[in-house]
Structure 1
Amino acid sequence: MKKLIVAAGLATIFGFGITSGIAVTQAQTVSSGTSDDFDRYSALYRYTLPPGKTPDDIVGMDIASNDHVYAWYKDGTVSSGTSDDLDEYIKLYSYSLPIGKTPNDIVGMGIASNDYVYVWYKDGTVSSGTSDDLDKYIAPYNYTLPPGKTPNDIVGMGIASNDYVYAWYKDGTVSSGTSDDLDEYIKLYRYSLPIGTIANDIVGMGIASNDRVYVWFKNP
């Protein structure tokens, strides 16, 4: 079975230099930056969810090749929109998981350059499919994490334009690799959050076509 294993040069996914200015944390906010500086490009601004949804309902997010933001929810629905309006383009519709999996098993999601959706689960497996059929293309197969990490340490995932998979962890570190080896390309390094937020506030992450990293937070 085909797996997402693509080697390419690092794009603009790394950020260097000083961090962005002080931002006031608000409820339901999103920032934009790099893999190691979450608000390098845009300080925190507000976002809205579909009616009846809260940030805690989100189980996974990422950004497709057309820069549409996708968000999957605990009740088995998904929407598509912009960084600040999560159902601007497509209202809620249903998605299916591999047999034996539930939304609560999801620890990360990502959308590759070919718009295949990848889903990582708590049991150490990953599948690939479409936004509404999460194993349409590839049934669950095993993945590995950096030494000392478990699936429950993941706070967000995303796939860059070069198809590098990025995984961010609760302890303030991030790695990059393939769908089945999360640190094959880049070992653990540190990331910084917007002032007033913590890793546990993260409800979703996504990487746009220009390799800017978007991070959605719940109420602080």
Structure 2
Amino acid sequence: MKTKQTIKGLLMIAAISIYSLGCKKNGESITQPEVNKKDAVFTYIKSLGFPESSIKDLGKEYLVEEDITFSKDMEIPTATGPKTEQYYTGNLVSSTNRTNIRIYVDASMASLSAEVNSAVNQWNNVPGANIHFNLVTSGSYDILIRDENLGYGYCGVARFPVNGNAGGLIRINKAYIAGNSFDQRQRTIAHEIGHCVGFRHTNWASSGEPQNGTDDIGTPASAIDVPNVGGTDPLSIMNGGQCGSGAAYFSDKDKQAIASLYPVITSGPSGTLSTMVGIDIGVDDGVYFWGLSGLVTKGNSTSINGPTQQYFLPSGKNFSDVIDMAISNAGRGYVWYKDGTMSVGQGIGNFGDYILPKSYVLPAGKTPLDIVGIAILKSNDHCFAFYSDGTFSEGNSTNLGAYAGLQSYAVPPGKTYNDIVDIGIAASSGWFYAWYADNKMSVGTSTDLNYWIPLKSMN
């Protein structure tokens, strides 16, 4: 992503064209016929997070923070979406790669080695974040930083993550930023590192950037709200168009966003069986326990102990709204809600970054509250929904009865259908695992949940 040297015009930055997600230095104001919008513009500036005391009236324009101007004739953008101002592409560095992202600094960047170190140190010292960069001088690397003449107005370009790997290249227009302060030079590098691990410009919408674009090699880059980090953030290091004049160090919201997307993984249970909103078996046969606490633990069939991290639902959904969760053969996380909608995540941590909530249907006579468990058979991604009257159906994520009508199933002796907390299907064997509210589990088939392994206690 390209960043720019000065700010002028609409919303602190120039209009941007990002067919390859880039932006230029020189700004241009967008004007419209005079309608005496002074008060509206003043209100709009305050809505961006600037205190009233920092806004100076210069006659035909307002001045903020000594170098950001807003024409009193500017066109005020119409809000068309959430006001959350932290965004990412939808792709992140995988959990196996994020703790050792290797950066190789080309010899052409030797004169900026101190700035590179400063930028990397920022990223390595975010509280509550599980992401770490290492500078390497030889061998394999994940990100190359090199100098390149990008032309007038361009300060840096970076690639976005793909397939669990960090974006592989950062190009810095070293000669162009040479006159900037040390803080601003390292800010440019830290900003571009942010793109390599999935962050979009926090101000992409107000800047005129498309929601869906690509980097210079075609890596797709959507603009998805970072979960649980709302509010505008004029001090974000990921604001576009502020090279040479923007905030040089992470804002509080930057830190929250980084920790949200790359959370520290702890060890311990996400709750007890009675406080789970979803349980399913992943493609590696690890068992995931999603708790009402907003934490998910990767354990095994008899133990809710293991790596634990946060998980997130789409905006407007609460953990108590969930009917069940399941994992597909592609490793995507599916969630069904009590209001008859479902959503899909790229993985098991964010259930709205692939498909936002949409409606699902059930077999005739069934309601979401009748469901005691949903599981996905990895061999064909069919969804099996089990109901509290002792029947189950086979379908897909939006039509739970699409492939087979209602059939009967049996539970272990002494159990009732309402004792079931959830059901999952092992990827390797196709066996059906069932967990019960009294801290017990059994393994069987779709028609007999006690067939393979009779009822036994959890550890």
State the TM-score, normalizing by the size of structure 2: 0.36
Match of 2:314 in 1: 98
Distance 1:141 1:193, change over 3 A: same
Instruction: Mark the structure with the bigger radius of gyration.
Output: 2
* The one of 360, 372, 375 aligned to 1:155: 372
Secondary structure (helix, strand or coil) at the match of 1:56 reads: helix
Aligned to 2:271: 53
Tell me, yes or no, if structure 1 residue 86 matches structure 2 residue 316.
Answer: no
More helix, by proportion = 2
Structure 2 unpaired stretches of 5+: 1-267, 440-459
1:52 Cα deviation (Å)? Answer: 7.7
1:26-82: per-residue Cα shift (whole Å, max 9, x none)? xxxxxxxxxxxxxxxxxxxxxxxx458322110001111110100100011100011
Identical pairs, percent:
43
1:117 is aligned to 2:333: yes
C-alpha separation in 1, matches of 2:270 and 2:282: 24
SS of corresponding position for 1:86: coil
* Distance change in 2, residues 1:96/1:148 (3 Å): same
Q: What is aligned with 1:213?
A: 432
- Tell me how many residue pairs correspond in the alignment: 170
Partner of 1:139: helix, strand, or coil? strand
Ranked by relative contact order (alpha carbons within 8 Å, sequence separation 6 or more), the top structure is 1
What's the CA shift for 1:195? Answer: 0.5
Cα distance in structure 1, aligned partners of 2:270 and 2:433: 23
Map of 1:69 onto structure 2: 287
Distance between the aligned counterparts of 1:135 and 1:158, measured in 2?
Answer: 19
Q: Is the 8 A contact 2:270 2:297 kept in 1?
A: no
What is the match of residue 179 of structure 1?
397
Task: Please say if 1:136 is aligned against 2:353.
Answer: yes
**Residues 89-145 of structure 1, C-alpha deviations (whole Å, 9 max, x = no match):** x1x211111111111111111100001110000011110012111111110111000
CA spacing shift, 1:52–1:183, aligned 2, 3 Å: closer
* Counterpart-to-counterpart distance in 2, 1:173 and 1:119: 21
User: Any unmatched runs of 5+ in structure 1?
Assistant: 1-49
**TM-score when normalising by structure 1:** 0.74
Within 5 Å, give how 1:6-45 maps onto structure 2.
Answer: none
Task: Provide the secondary structure at the position in 2 that maps to 1:135.
Answer: coil
Aligned to 2:229: none
Of Structure 1 and Structure 2, the greater strand share is in: 1
Q: Corresponding residue for 2:103?
A: none
Write the distance in 2 (CA, Å) between the matches of 1:211 and 1:55: 22
AA partner of residue 435 (structure 2): W
- What is the alpha-carbon distance in structure 2 between the residues aligned to residue 86 and residue 137 of structure 1? 27
Cα RMSD (Å): 1.5
Misfit runs of 4+, over 2 Å = 50-54
